[in-house]
Structure 1
Amino acid sequence: MASNSGFPIPPPADPSDEVVREFGPLLRIYKSGRIERPLVPPPVGPGHDAATGVDSKDVHLGAYSVRLYLPPAAAAAEGGASKKLPVVVYVHGGGFVAESAASPHYHRFLNELAAACPALCVSVEYRLAPEHPLPAGYEDCLAALKWALSAADPWVAAHGDLARVFVAGDSAGANACHHLAIHPDIRALKGAVLIHPWFWGSEAVGEEPRDPAFRAMGAGLWFFACPGTSDMDDPRMNPMAPGAPALGTLACERVLVCAAEGDFLRWRGRAYAEAVAAARGGGLGVGTEEAGGGGGGVELLETEGEGHVFYLFKPDCDKAKEMLDKIVVFINAP
């Protein structure tokens, strides 16, 4: 079943059905084969956003779709020799099994990001597991990035600066952004923004619990979403694992990693930022939104007192605004 926007909506629930597998609020699998994603609200359509002045539209590209966001700065510049806008390809989170570019949380955030930069944003609607196990989601994200770089859409062609293309995403989407930035086919990125990235591994980093049972539990959703994986040290889940592609080969000039104090993935994000900075032979810029990057062009923003992807659920709080300001500064830096 699909909504008017073309994005899928779940079928009505059967109260007699039985849950046989569950991953928190993200995913429930029923005995009948029905799949439910309780955390995901009904999708919202594209169009004009009165709060920001941003216009959006959906482009369907076969197995995947994208939602484009064009800020009022672009419309105001039409008819003149205007400076083009950076292009931000955004990948939503949800453990590769839930969420959508049409979710009201993401739709609001992309409207605000597009207006604040200003930037032309491309939000990717990729296929989800278990209907489409990984690497399907990775493949869709790669195809969407290549599509954006091709300037096949009139909005991108007219307003996008293809010398300033960024990938950005949260949680599983941040994981996918690493996959994009290190892919051998991609060599044209200005930067990457990884918000609360979902990485894991068999060995603990920082203050992560070292209990093997906890580590296995933390990888349970990964094994479900990617049944063909080797283990939790698969380079797609643990980019710091032995044998993973060298972090020094990331195809972007600058990297911003955002972490949250109350997120169990906090230490993994910090370790990733430190490893990328070390691979580039520079220091790590750490601090608030005023902090500058180190010599390797790598920055870490740690938000105190907040949890995983808090900015989606508390978009009006001061910490969410600080994080958005930091991302805007990062995207607009020379």
Structure 2
Amino acid sequence: MASITKEVEKELIPFVRLYKDGSVERLGNSPYVPPSPQDTETGVSSKDITISQDPSVSARLYLPKLNQPLHQKLPILIYFHGGGFCIESAFSSDHQRYLNSLVSQAQVVAVSVEYRLAPEHLLPIAYEDSWAALQWVASHFIDDNVVNKEPWLINHGDFNRVFLGGDSAGANIVHNIALRAGVEGLHGGVRITGAFLTHPFFWGLKPVGSEYTAEREKGLAYSIWYLVYPSAPGGIDNPMINPFSPGAPSLAGLGCSRLLVTVSEKDRLRDRGIMYYNTVKESEWKGEVELIEVEGEGHAFQILDCGTENANNLIKRLASFLLK
């Protein structure tokens, strides 16, 4: 029987391949893994939940091993995974291993959000899903009518210590969600204590620092953005991808009290991450901002190479930020 070869319409290596029949093949996903009642290495428990049916938003929740199971209150981390808005998942093996380690060391309840991916669900859908997830978490604070009420948040979540975190595209989401929280606020008056952005995915038309300029407009950052948000007003200078573009909201409006930005020496996004840190620091934002630079590493190494010395050290620094 002859095999049927589907015709490729577009491919973005190493992310996705789009076929003319409308189907999408994700090339860069790490394998999906089930949640664990108790991880053998860390003792962290995880489970999957549905946050909303319409829109379709789910999450993987993490709970560290508790010393006082009935009464212990822990900081809450709402986490957004990376993957260029088009690959990876809250249910992937890479992020499961990373979050098991972080949750164990930081002693937090974590909500890893499964937002919908492009190109089937183009931006700004991922931002809207992420905002809905954050508001759902906040609604547990005072709202007795919250749908899909989650016992781990009610029994162990400290709503006076709420954090956002994300890597790469997830760090981009953290930035945009924190700005929105500064304008709109959260259910019950919940405030975001802090946010960390590891290797944030920002870009723009004008090169920053050492960004490679030869054929720059054919580079991966451009290609990803135009794949996931082809209708973005302003294109690659849209404020959601370029926080420094003309007309972008002031970073003084970030709706959190503390901010941590981490960059890596061999990451092409490095200089733009440093620029983000400096711009926040020089703005009229009233919070505390910190920068971590890691030598000799590339983009998202703490997830892709989880378990190495440098990855362990960075996770320890992130845990310290959440424990502070």
**Partner of 1:23 in structure 2?**
12
Q: 1:79 to 1:154 in 2, by over 3 A?
A: closer
- 1:163 equivalenced with 2:160 (yes/no): yes
> Any idea what the Cα deviations from partners look like across 1:259-291, whole Å, max 9, x if unmatched?
111111011111001101111478xxxxxxxxx
Give the deviation of 1:216 after TM superposition.
Answer: 5.1
Contact 2:196 2:259 in 1 (8 A): yes
Contact 1:89 1:166 in 2 (8 A): yes
Distance 1:149 1:57 in 2: 19
- 1:204 equivalenced with 2:195 (yes/no): no
**Partner of 2:45 in structure 1?**
55
> Any idea what the Cα deviations from partners look like across 1:231-281, whole Å, max 9, x if unmatched?
111000001111111100101111111111111101111100110111147
Give the deviation of 1:42 after TM superposition.
Answer: 2.7
Match of 2:68 among 69, 77, 81: 77
Match of 1:319 among 305, 310, 314: 310
Amino acid at match of 2:12: F
Amino acid at match of 1:77: Q
> Any idea what the Cα deviations from partners look like across 1:45-103, whole Å, max 9, x if unmatched?
11221111111111112111011101112xx31234x3x11101000011111110010
Match of 1:134 among 110, 115, 123: 123
**Partner of 1:64 in structure 2?**
57
Distance 1:55 1:229 in 2: 39
Instruction: Give the SS at the match of 1:114.
Output: helix
**Partner of 1:180 in structure 2?**
177
Distance 2:61 2:87 in 1: 20
Distance 1:228 1:153 in 2: 36
Distance 2:114 2:132 in 1: 11
The runs of 5 or more residues in structure 2 that have no matched partner are: 141-148
Distance 1:179 1:303 in 2: 24
Distance 1:281 1:312 in 2: 30
Contact 1:203 1:210 in 2 (8 A): no
Distance 2:167 2:128 in 1: 17
Give the deviation of 1:164 after TM superposition.
Answer: 0.8
**Partner of 2:144 in structure 1?**
none
Give the deviation of 1:21 after TM superposition.
Answer: 1.2
Give the deviation of 1:210 after TM superposition.
Answer: 3.6
**Partner of 2:192 in structure 1?**
189
Tell me the matched-pair count. Answer: 302
Contact 1:209 1:215 in 2 (8 A): no
The runs of 5 or more residues in structure 1 that have no matched partner are: 1-13, 283-295
What does 1:86-105 correspond to in 2, within 5 Å? 86-105=75-94
Distance 1:15 1:329 in 2: 53
Give the deviation of 1:227 after TM superposition.
Answer: 1.9
Instruction: Give the SS at the match of 2:281.
Output: helix
Greater length-normalized contact order (CA 8 Å, ≥ 6 residues apart): 2
Give the deviation of 1:228 after TM superposition.
Answer: 1.8
- 1:154 equivalenced with 2:157 (yes/no): no
Amino acid at match of 1:65: S
> Any idea what the Cα deviations from partners look like across 1:79-133, whole Å, max 9, x if unmatched?
34x3x11101000011111110010000111111111110000000000011110
Amino acid at match of 2:17: R
Q: TM-score, normalised by structure 2?
A: 0.89
Amino acid at match of 1:161: D
Instruction: Give the SS at the match of 2:30.
Output: coil
Please say which of residues 311-320 and 115-124 is displaced more in the overlay. 311-320
Q: 1:15 to 1:117 in 2, by over 3 A?
A: farther
What does 1:184-263 correspond to in 2, within 5 Å? 184-186=183-185, 188-211=191-214, 213-215=215-217, 217=219, 218-230=221-233, 231-263=235-267
> Any idea what the Cα deviations from partners look like across 1:167-225, whole Å, max 9, x if unmatched?
100111000000110002236111111010000011111111344x4045331211110
Contact 1:201 1:215 in 2 (8 A): no
Amino acid at match of 2:170: G
> Any idea what the Cα deviations from partners look like across 1:123-179, whole Å, max 9, x if unmatched?
000000111101111000000011111223111011011111111001110000001
Distance 1:331 1:173 in 2: 17
